[in-house]
Amino acid sequence: MTPLSRTLKDLSTGAKDWRLWSALAKEDLAQRYRRTLIGVAWVAITFGLFIGAKVVVFGNIMQVPMGEYSLYVTLGFLAWQFISASVTDGCGVFANSENWIKGVNTPLSLYIYQAIARNFITLFYSALAGLLIILLMRHPFTFKTLMVIPALFVYLLNAVWFSMVFGIVTARFRDILHLVTTSMRIIFFLTPILWMPTQLGPGIRKYTDYNPFTHYLAIFRDPVLYDQYAWRSWLIVLSITAVGWLIGLIVFSKFRKRIVFWL
Amino acid sequence: MAHLRAKNIHLSYPLIDRVKRTQTAEIAGTTDVGAQLNNRHQKSLQVVNDVSFSLEDGDRLAIIGPNGAGKSSLLNVLAGIYEPTQGILESEGSVSAVFNIGLGMRREATGYRNIEIRCLMAGLNKTDIQRVTRDVEGFSGLGEFLHLPVKLYSRGMALRLNFALVTAMRADIVLMDEWIGAGDKEFRAKVIERMHDFVGSASIVVLTSHNTKLLQRVCNYALWMERGHVVKYGDAHSIIEEYQTETAKKG
């Protein structure tokens, strides 16, 4: 078997173990909220309160209608939470599963799916709070709203390649995790989540366009909020996804069998 | 029909933590343990060097040698956890690696949940999981405690759960790093009996242990390793005998 076909086999046999990785993901969450009264409902409450506080504080500063701004923040932050968690968890995906990886012969992609499933469940609960906000604002749903489904699917695809690359790099160079975590905190402020590009002067505005996260958010937010497909952002996101997968397959094929020695 | 064949297996372990090693060339090679560590710039450690053997149904292989001879590394290769740097490993049949019986236990989760997760990890289907669960319930004697989080268990209770679970999952090929035998007095007799059942039901067993008497009793083949190399391979009884005389001389 060539290294590439081994990689594909790892990815497919790992995916088939869905009962296992979903159980592990649920267990991760259960552990986080063990002995709490309301359990994972905390996810939704945290999200709702966070949005509320942000809208109250920033909504008055921004010169945007309050209704539009609260939807803008809700949708943007919903997507950002998942992206940001996928990025940081993607780095730790192998390092955090050291015991299993050193103890049993399982496909390594299993741990990638586990992390993604965990973040997806969290996203689901946050989305319930998000949906409530959207309904309260009486924002109309259109056919284009359905574009959030392919957008989420693309998020999942990106989480996989990112974990393949950065899970391996982090297993070898542990500084990467800290570097990435810090970077994501900064990127949060550099990405249009709390502010809108239109509020910036034209000189600076063009730089937000160079930020890939701008486009990842746009494909999720724009169809719901502005009834626009955001084709240009889609094109950019899909190109990054394709290149990312190419790099992911190469890196994973080359270093997959070495990961265990780096843990 | 299960089989397990190793052809010229090599394994080198990358050294990535750049620990300051003060060892000089003069004292290198005089250590009692481990593969050769020659100089501080060494990037990898050759832990298994050209190991070959062939096991068929009914065979029991003992791997013997001093600490750091490469026994556990070889077992890890056989389990598929380490991919060999060179050489071919051929096997047929389900493999169960018993290296750490408390592997992946989630202290916050209940005994039942842990059974389920470990079974899924071993790739068991629904009916097998049910069978294993019944078996663990029966053997461990933990009763209602299986509904409680494992972190509330005493050491002895956790051992009962882990042992019952590991030995409930039967496989064609069993790899063991040290024989398992512990527990309180009353449990110990049950453990011994169950270990024999567990090992007896496997068609191939590969085992390391410092208990040479046990190895002589259980195994028909022995592989004597030192510093990653094979010193001798063949009939268990005579090789273990020879190994014992050799170590007695050194000691």
> Using one digit for the tens of pLDDT, what is the confidence trace for A143-177?
899 999 999 999 999 999 999 999 999 999 999 99
What mean pLDDT do residues A217-222 have? 96
Inter-chain contact A261–B83, Cβ cutoff 8 Å?
no
Query: Minimal Cα distance from A33: which residue of B?
Result: B108
pLDDT for B22 equals 53
Which pLDDT band, with edges at 50, 70 and 90, does B100 fall under? confident
pLDDT for A61 equals 83
Q: Give me the CATH code for the B3-94+207-250 domain, please.
A: 3.40.50.300
Domain housing A241 = 3-262
Inter-chain contact A100–B79, Cβ cutoff 8 Å?
no
Q: Which residues of A touch B100 (CB under 8 A)?
A: 103
d(CA B82, CA A257) in angstroms, rounded, equals: 7
Instruction: Starting at the earlier edge strand, list the strands of the sheet with B86-92.
Output: B86-92, B3-14, B44-55, B229-235, B221-226, B60-64, B204-208, B173-177, B95-98
pLDDT for A87 equals 98
Which stretch of A65-74, A193-202, B162-171, B178-187 has the lowest confidence by average pLDDT? B178-187
Which pLDDT band, with edges at 50, 70 and 90, does A202 fall under? confident
Distance (Å) from the alpha carbon of A33 to chain B's nearest alpha carbon: 11
Residues of chain A above pLDDT 70, percent: 100
Q: What's the whole-number average pLDDT of chain B?
A: 88
Q: Which residues of B touch A (CB under 8 A)?
A: 13-14, 16, 79-83, 95, 97, 99-100, 103-104, 106, 108-109, 113, 116-117, 120-123
Lookup: tokens for A131:
């949906």
What mean pLDDT do residues B206-221 have? 92
Residues of chain B above pLDDT 90, percent: 64
Inter-chain contact B83–A104, Cβ cutoff 8 Å?
no
d(CA A25, CA A43) in angstroms, rounded, equals: 15
pLDDT at A121 over 90: yes
pLDDT for A245 equals 98
Lookup: tokens for B50:
């050209």
Q: Using DSSP, state whether A173 is helix, strand or coil.
A: coil
pLDDT at B98 over 50: yes
Name residue, tokens 């750490």. Answer: B100
- Give the residue from A92, A115, A261 showing the smallest Cα distance to A176: A92
pLDDT for A9 equals 96
pLDDT at A96 over 60: yes
Contacts of A220 (CB under 8 A, 6+ apart): A75, A78, A79, A148, A151, A152, A155
| Tens-digit pLDDT profile for residues B77-91 | 999 999 999 999 999
| Tens-digit pLDDT profile for residues A170-201 | 999 999 999 999 999 999 999 999 999 888 88
- How many domains does one find in chain A? 1
Inter-chain contact A260–B81, Cβ cutoff 8 Å?
yes
Q: Which residues of B touch A18 (CB under 8 A)?
A: none
Greater model confidence, B183 or B167: B167
Inter-chain contact A104–B121, Cβ cutoff 8 Å?
yes
Question: Which residue type does B216 have?
Answer: Q
Residues of chain A above pLDDT 90, percent: 78
- Global pTM value: 0.91
User: A28-37, A38-47, A215-224 — which one is most confidently predicted on average?
Assistant: A215-224
d(CA A239, CA A230) in angstroms, rounded, equals: 14
Burial track A246-256 (b if 16+ CB lie within 10 A, e otherwise): eebbebbbebb
pLDDT for B44 equals 83
pLDDT for B25 equals 47
Domain coordinates in residue numbering, chain B? 3-94+207-250
What mean pLDDT do residues A18-35 have? 91
What mean pLDDT do residues A11-27 have? 95
Distances (CA, A) of A30 to A8, A86, A120, B111, B145: 31, 19, 14, 15, 19
Which pLDDT band, with edges at 50, 70 and 90, does B205 fall under? very high
Inter-chain contact B81–A261, Cβ cutoff 8 Å?
no
Assess A100–B contact: CB distance below 8 Å, yes or no: yes
For chain B, report the end-to-end CA distance as a whole number of angstroms. 42
